[in-house]
Structure formats: C-alpha cells, structure tokens
Structure 1
Amino acid sequence: MGTFKIEGGHQLRGRIQPQGAKNEALQILCAVLLTAEEVIINNIPDIIDVNKLIALLKKLGVKVKKLDKGSYSFQADDVDLKYLESAEFKEDGKGLRGSIMIVGPLLGRFGKGYIPKPGGDKIGRRRLDTHFEGFINLGAKFRYNRDDLFYGVEAKKLKGTYMLLDEASVTGTANIVMAAVLAEGITTIYNAACEPYLQQLCKMLNRMGAKISGVGSNLLTIEGVDKLGGTEHRMLPDMIEIGSWIGLAAMTKSELTITNVSWDDLGVIPSVFRKTGINIERQGDDIHIPAHINGYEVQNYIDGSILTISDAPWPGFTPDLLSIILTVLTQARGSAVVHQKMFESRLFFVDKLIDMGAKIILCDPHRATVIGHDFKSTLKATTMTSPDIRAGVSLLIAALSAKGTSIIHNIEQIDRGYENIDERLRAIGAKIERLDGN
C-alpha cells in the first residue's frame, strides 16, 4: 500500500495542465470495439483505471499501439469472444468499474456481452439496472449467475425502440448508445445523460458513421447503421481535475494558472466555486486563480439564508467535485450545506477532516454543514487513509494546506484518477513525497 508524505502550509505557484478526462476515456476506449478499423485516441490519461481498461482490451484481442505520450492506436479486427467466458476475464473485470461499458459495443457488434460484477469506489450503490434494462428494450436476453456474480446479454439482432431511462445514468446512456448505433431501426432514448463526455462519445460515433441526433440534450435519436469505420479522437481535459486545482489554489492561498481547460465544457463548475468566494479569472482558455491572501467568503442566498451546494445530473454540478467543495469550505468565511444526493457513502470521509480541526456537522449520509475557519485556525496535520479517488484528493488538498507533516495511506485510490499527481504538484512547489508500500 503506497503512501504520501506531505509537508503542508506552503504557498504554491505556477501553471498546471489538466490531464485527459478519466470519465470520457472509459467510454471512448470501449467504443473502439464497435469497428474493425483503426481508431486513434489522443490525450489519454496515464492512470490506473484507464491502463487497466487498455490491458483488458488487449486480452480481448484488440491490437493496441502506443504512438506517443497519451496517444494510442486501437484496432478490434480480431476480437476473442472466448475470453469473455474465461475465469481470467471474470477476475480481470471485477477490479474496474468502467469495464461495464464493454457490454454495449460487444452486444451491438457481436450479439453478446458479458461482465462480472464490477468493483471500483466504495461510495455507495451504483446500480446496473439502467444498462441492462436498456439492452433488454433493444431485444437482448438477460442472464445473471448469482453464484459468481456474472452478467450476460445476448441477441441475434438488436431492434431500435423508444425507451425512457429510469435515471440519467452517464455510463448507462453511453452503454445503450453504443449498442443502439448498430441496431436495426430507430432508437429513441429519453432522460438520457448529456454530460460533455457523453457528447464527446456521440460526436466520435457520428464521425465513425453512426447517425445520432439530439447530442447535448436529454433526448437522443439513433438511426441504426450496418457498420462503423475508424476515426481519430481527442479527449477533453478532465473537469474534475480542473475543479481539484481550483480548490487547491484557494486552500493554500496560491496563485495558479490552470491551462487549456476547455471553458465551454465546464458548465456551472466555475460559478459554483465562485459561490464559495473563490476569485476565478478567465484568461483565454486558461483559468487563473490569484492568491487569496485575505481568504474567501461564501455567498448567501438573496434572502440571507445559508448556501446549499448539491449535485445533479448535467448541466447540474457534478457529484465528483462535492468532496473538493466541502474541503474548500472548511477555510471559507461563512457557512454552507453540502448535499450529496447521488451516493450515500461519499461524505463519510469528513471524519478525517474533523480530526484535522475542521468544523463539520454530518447531518446524515447525504448532508453536511460546514462552518468555515476563515484561516483563523489552520487545519492540523494527521495520518489518514484514502477511501476513494475524490475523497483521496480532497484529503491531499487539506494536507497541503495544513501546518505540519501529514501521511496519506492507500494512495492507489488517488492514482486511479490522477496522473503522476505528486510529480506535478512538486513542479508548482508542493512538498510531497511518495513512499513505497511495505
């Protein structure tokens, strides 16, 4: 188990480039299974979850070539479907949440898709019902082996249909779209997710020959085609990492420039951080955060009531940044409520912030009230363990702002979502050291 040793209390300075988007990568990489032709993907982040998926694709028989840093060529012209029913696949698929998204393209192109119950973050339930109900609506037969937690769908030919998703699941929408592009007839998906990453997937599929309309809305119409061709695609910058660096700058009173952020794809993220009092300046396609020497003050509502920040499906605020927002609020001037609606275990990391001296009242599994210190009392260094990707980086930000030396164990969770984070932080002045696990 790896460990970070962090000497906090230092101001940082410089420019930092966000990595390619993790959540987009997990969708886009699965889409290469839809064609026998070459697909080139650029700006792929070098992180554990993405590398695991690339390794899984290789075992499926996909030809993978690394062209440059972050750039790969994929060709799925000799897919080994027997691997899907092997004991090795049942083990490989368990360790990666994103592995569920190979099912849609495999079902659409080959008429069968299997997956073991995927693992991932321990942040609450993530139902797979939306995925499989969508496949069933398209005409697939569903089977589930309870003994080894193995799911499967099969169909001779998928047929387009109308469906209303029970929730606007991003991965569920992506999976159903990838199956429907090769279905016979027209598929209409209502209550579809419309996150930028899903839009990116749809645009890529259209370049490959798919016929998807309504991209960017919650009503997608897909006219099935016989086959798809190759293409080249570039990942968006990771909006979650961009939000993480905004929070880091504020908490450490640092002047940072986050470069090439694709402002038009950030949605409400800048405005939500501004509600916490953070000064966010747009400089071309960069975000500049000046040093908040005098702190930052939370906005109240017009009637004076306490600010509530909550997550919602796009274009609402992403749940992946609520942990960062909560951490930022611990040193704000004023108070706010953080309401995590989508995952019932994601706020349980606040006990570690409380141990560091933060004033947080955990009202229930979904809501926390944060009373900011206004930097009049700094967080105290401590030893802690990262429970998941986003909580892990939130604790890392807290440690960088705290006085003294903190230890964070289980940093593999952070590495799952953030590329070479210690090296990149050291480049802007952070005192962080990676210790080998015993």
Structure 2
Amino acid sequence: MSTFEIRGGKQLHGSIQPQGAKNEALQILCAVLLTKEKVTITNIPDILDVNMLIELIGDLGVEVERPQRDTCVFQAKYVNVDFLQSKEYKAKSGKLRGAVMLAGPLIARYGKTYLPQPGGDKIGRRRLDTHIRGFEKMGVKFDYDHEGKEFILTADKLKGTYLLLEEPSVTGTANMVMAAVLADGNTTIYNAACEPYVQQLCKMLNNMGAKIKGIGSNLLEIEGVESLHGCEHRLLADMIETGSFIALAAMTQSEITITDADVNDLGLMLDTFMRFGIQLEVQGNDIFIPQQDHYRIQNFIDGSILTVYDHPWPGVSPDLLSVMLVMATQAKGNVLIHQKMFESRLFFVDKLIEMGAQIVLCDPHRAVVMGLNRQSNLRGIRMSSPDIRAGVALLIAALSAEGKSIIENIDQIDRGYQNIDTRLNALGADIRRMA
C-alpha cells in the first residue's frame, strides 16, 4: 500500500489550477447512457473514482475513446444491462458511490436496472430512499435481493409525476432528472438540489434536446422527450480542490494563485473562508491568496463563537469542513465545526490532536477547535487516510507541521485529487510517494 512521506514547514509559492470537478464528472458520465449518439466530455479529472466509472461504462458496452487524458468520447449504441449483475460489476461499484447514478439513465432507456448498496467513503449512512421513492412515483417497481444486497428496478415506461424530495440530495436529484427527461409527460421536482454540478447536468441535458426549466432553483420542471442527441460538455473546476488550496495557503503561510477557479459557482465558500480571517482577492476567474502570518476567526455579530456547518447550496459543502477544521487549528480564536450530514467524518481529529491541535470532539457531528495562533506548531506523525476529504486535510496538516509525517492509505486521496503530490511539489512542497 502506497504512502506519502511529507517534510513540513515549507512555504509554497506559485500558481495552481484546480482539476475538473469530481462530483460533476460522476453525474455527467452517467448521463452519456441516455443517447445513442456521441457525447464528448472535456476537463475530466484523472482520478481513481472517475477512471473507475469510465471503466464501468465501457464494461457495459459503451464505446469509449480517450483522445486526451482529460477528454473522453462516449457512444452508448449498445448497453448490456445484465452486466450489472456480474461479480465484476458488483466488486467495482461497491467501491464507488457515483455508480448509483447509472440507475436513472438505465431505467429511463432500458426499463430495467440494478441498484447496489452505495460504495465510496466510509463516512456514515448513505441512504437510497430518495432515489427509490422517486423512481417508485415514476412507475418503477422494485424488489430487494437480500442475497445479492441490491435493488432490482423495472418499468414498462416511466411516467411524469410530481416529486417532493424528502431531502435535497444531489445524487438523488441527478437520478430523478436523468430519468424524467425520457419519461412520458411532465415531471416536477420540488426541494431539488441546486448545486452547480446539478445545474451543469441540466444544461448538458438541454443541449442534448431535453426540456428542463428552473435550472439553479429548487423547483425543476421537466417535459419528457422521445430521445436525446449527442453534445459536447466541459466540466467546471473542482470547488473542493479550490477550497483545499485556500486552506493550504493559510496553513503554510504561502502566497498562492488559484487559476481558472470558476469563481461564480463557489457560493458562500469564499465568504466563509474570510470569516476565518483568510485574506483573498478575486482577480477575474482567479483567486489570489497572499502570504499571511496570522489569521483571526470572526465571532458572530452578537459576540458568540462562530459556528460553521454544512448546508445545501449555496451553503458550505460537507466536503470542505475537514480542511476548514484543519485550517482553524492555527487560527487565532475558536470555532465550532458542525458536520450535519455524515456522522463519521470528524473521527480523523484524533490524529490532529496527536499532532498537537487543541480540539474537543463533542460528538460524532461536532468539534470545537481552539486555534493555536501559531504559538505552537503541529508536529509530524504517522497516520492513515480514512476518506478522501480527511486524507487531504491530514496532508495539509502535515505540510504545515514540523518534522516528518507519514500518511498511509493514500489511495483514498488519489480517489479525489489528481497527482496531488506532483502538483504541490511544483509549488515547493516536499512530498514523496513511497511504494
């Protein structure tokens, strides 16, 4: 198993461009199954999760060409739905949360699909209720195979309906949208997720001939069409990587410019970083973070301690709370980090405490961070990456720490961050990938 060996305490300098958005890629790649015509996707991140989904799509019988590493051309003239019951598919999809979004396109186009228990990070319960209940209202029948641990979904023809989602699930919304575009009649999705990646999916589908109104709101109106045609689509910059680079600059007292960051799609992220006292400047589509010796966490207007929590768009993504928590360890002041969505994502703080951070883990969802204001540096230790976001948060902590750190299980980091060691070393970091 590969590891990172990091020698921390080095200031970084230069420019870095975020990769294509991982969470958008997982939706967009599933949507190529909705048409027999060619679909070209560009700015694809070269990461494990995305590459595994591309491999799965190819295994289903879709023709896949990759003229460049960040570009794929798909043509789903023939799809072998029965492959979803193979041991090979179940082994791969069990490692990948994004595979759940294959269901919408397959049930819409072929009337049958299999939905395994979701894979991906072990960060707590990840229910399928939003997906299953939505499909059911569109005329899908489902059975649960206890032995195979999967749902079997069938439908003669999907019908448009009114859907009030019990939660604004991003993957749930994406699945409902991809199913509804080929359904008979009109579908209304209320309490839909509004994230830019869902917006991008809807825009792409409209370019393919779908009829979706309300893009960017929580009320989507979809008129079903007979078929879709091909298109070209470019992925947005990955906002989670952008946020990670801002936190990295703050923790290592570095001057970094994040280029081509798609700043108009970042929601409240930049405002939230500034509440931690981080100086930054938007320059066109770039973000400049100057070298900063100290940063001070702001209190609320009434003087109470700042609370930062995950919230549906345009609020802060749950994927960013891990790096914000690490960043807070060297701030001046205190903050309560409230991870509402997943109950296992804060368990990595024991490693930060071992590094010298002052953190009280209140319960599985909340942690109070008492900033050290650089009066005491973190120290390097040996640790293991439990999931993608905690992994890069620990990497940021190690890059700011005194001495040498070892991070094991870095496949978790590679699942979401493209060549992160090479790219950060180009800025002056000292990261060695060890076999």
Distance 2:176 2:226 in 1: 17
Instruction: Give the aligned residue type for 1:240.
Output: I
**Superposed, which structure 2 residues align to 1:1-400 within 5 Å?**
1-293=1-293, 295-400=294-399
Cα distance, 1:82 vs structure 2: 2.4
Matched position secondary structure for 1:11: coil
Amino acid at match of 2:177: V
Identity %: 64
* Aligned counterparts of 1:287 and 1:242: Cα–Cα separation in 2: 9
Aligned-partner SS, 2:94 = helix
Cα offsets for 1:43-96 (capped at 9, x unmatched): 000000000000000000010001213011000001112212223222222121
* C-alpha distance in 1 between matches for 2:132 and 2:178: 13
Question: Considering only aligned residues, what root-mean-square deviation do their CA atoms show, in Å?
Answer: 0.7
Q: Distance in 1 between matches of 2:384 and 2:243?
A: 22
Distance in 2 separating the partners of 1:69 and 1:82: 29
Deviation of 1:119 after TM superposition, in Å, equals 1.4
Inter-partner Cα distance in structure 2 for 1:20 and 1:223: 30
1:278-327 superposed Cα distances (whole Å, 9 cap, x missing partner): 0011111100000012x100001111111000111111111000001100
Secondary structure at the counterpart of residue 320 of structure 1: helix
Aligned-partner SS, 1:278: coil
SS in 1 for 2:199: helix
| 2-structure distance, mates of 1:373, 1:268 | 26
SS at match of 2:253: coil
Tell me the distance in 2 between the aligned counterparts of 1:221 and 1:20.
28
The aligned residue for residue 423 of structure 1 is 422
What is the alpha-carbon distance in structure 2 between the residues aligned to residue 250 and residue 91 of structure 1?
A: 40
Residue type of the alignment partner of 2:422: E
SS of the counterpart of 2:157?
coil
- Could you give the per-residue CA deviations for residues 122-161 of structure 1, whole angstroms, max 9, x where no partner exists? 1111101101111101000011101120112110100000
> What is the SS of the residue equivalent to 1:279?
coil
What is the aligned length?
Answer: 435
User: Does the CA contact (< 8 Å) of 1:47 and 1:418 recur in 2?
Assistant: yes
Does the Cα contact within 8 Å between 1:90 and 1:115 map onto a contact in 2? Answer: no
User: TM-score, length-normalised on structure 2?
Assistant: 0.99
Contact 1:93 / 1:115 at 8 angstroms: preserved in 2? no
- Rounded to whole Å, the distance in 1 between the matches of 2:51 and 2:185 is 35
- For residue 74 of structure 2, what is the amino acid of its counterpart? F
SS at match of 1:73: strand
Mapped contact 1:47–1:416 kept (Cα < 8 A)? yes
**TM-aligned CA deviation for residue 116 of structure 1:** 2.1
CA distance in 2, matches of 1:273, 1:387: 24
Q: Secondary structure at the match of 2:203?
A: helix
Alpha-carbon distance, 1:104 to partner = 0.4
Runs (4+) of structure 1 exceeding 3 A deviation are none
**C-alpha distance in 1 between matches for 2:433 and 2:17:** 21
Residue in 1 that maps onto 2:408: 409
Equivalent AA in structure 2 for residue 351 of structure 1: D
Aligned partner of residue 367 in structure 2, secondary structure: strand
> For 1:92 and 1:389, how far apart are their aligned partners in 2?
17
**For residue 267 of structure 1, what is the amino acid of its counterpart?**
G
Q: Separation in 2 of the partners of 1:98 and 1:69?
A: 20
Residue range with higher mean Cα deviation, 198-207 or 296-305: 296-305
TM-score (norm 1): 0.98
The separation in 1 between residues aligned to 2:85 and 2:54, in whole angstroms, is: 19
State how far apart, in whole Å, the 1-side matches of 2:85 and 2:303 are. 59
Distance 1:92 1:329 in 2: 36
**Which structure 1 residue ranges, 5 or more long, are not aligned?**
none
Query: Equivalents in 2 of 1:88, 1:51: separation in Å?
Result: 16
